[in-house]
């Protein structure tokens, strides 16, 4: 289950990613290094545009923010991404929320935030 609080992406790294120009290289996504890049390529995700598109494809009117992020997080797990799934999910959701403001907000994960206080 995805928990934003488990993301270890540094604030500066996330801000740089959020406000930088879109880049094709998967390694520009916080949490994706050479190993995760290869895993995603083995599952047909060749670039950042496809990864972000896949995240958007998982969104339906019936799925709220939490369920949407959980489905993406579980998909990463099924692909074989063992490390940095929280980082990748949070980074992708945050990046897309810049363009689609209702798509993601960490406040939807209130229970997660309360448990870590």
Domain ranges of the chain: 4-115
Q: Which residue has the higher pLDDT, 9 or 117?
A: 9
pLDDT at 84 over 50: yes
pLDDT score, position 102: 74
Question: Contacts from 42-49 at CB under 8 Å and sequence distance 24+?
Answer: 42/79, 42/80, 43/79, 48/22, 48/23, 48/24, 49/22, 49/24
Residue 115, pLDDT > 60, answer: no
> Residue 112's pLDDT is what?
61
pLDDT for position 11: 95
Q: How confident is residue 109, by pLDDT bands cut at 50, 70 and 90? A: confident
Residues 69, 2 contacting (CB under 8 angstroms): yes
At the topology level, CATH places domain 4-115 in DNA polymerase; domain 1 (1.10.150)
Would you say residue 37 has pLDDT above 90? yes
Tell which wins on pLDDT, 117 or 45. 45
Mean pLDDT of 37-58: 97
């Amino acid at each position: 289950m995805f928990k934003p609080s488990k993301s270890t992406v540094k604030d500066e790294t996330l801000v740089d990613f959020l406000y930088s120009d879109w880049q094709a290289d998967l390694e520009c996504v916080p949490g994706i290094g050479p190993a995760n890049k290869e895993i995603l390529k083995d599952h047909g995700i060749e670039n950042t545009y496809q990864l972000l598109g896949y995240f958007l494809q998982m969104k339906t009117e019936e799925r709220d923010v939490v369920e949407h992020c959980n489905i993406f997080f579980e998909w990463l797990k099924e692909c074989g991404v063992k490390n940095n799934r929280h980082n990748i999910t949070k980074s992708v959701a945050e990046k897309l929320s810049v363009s689609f403001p209702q798509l993601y907000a960490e406040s939807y994960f209130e229970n997660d935030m309360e448990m870590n206080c």
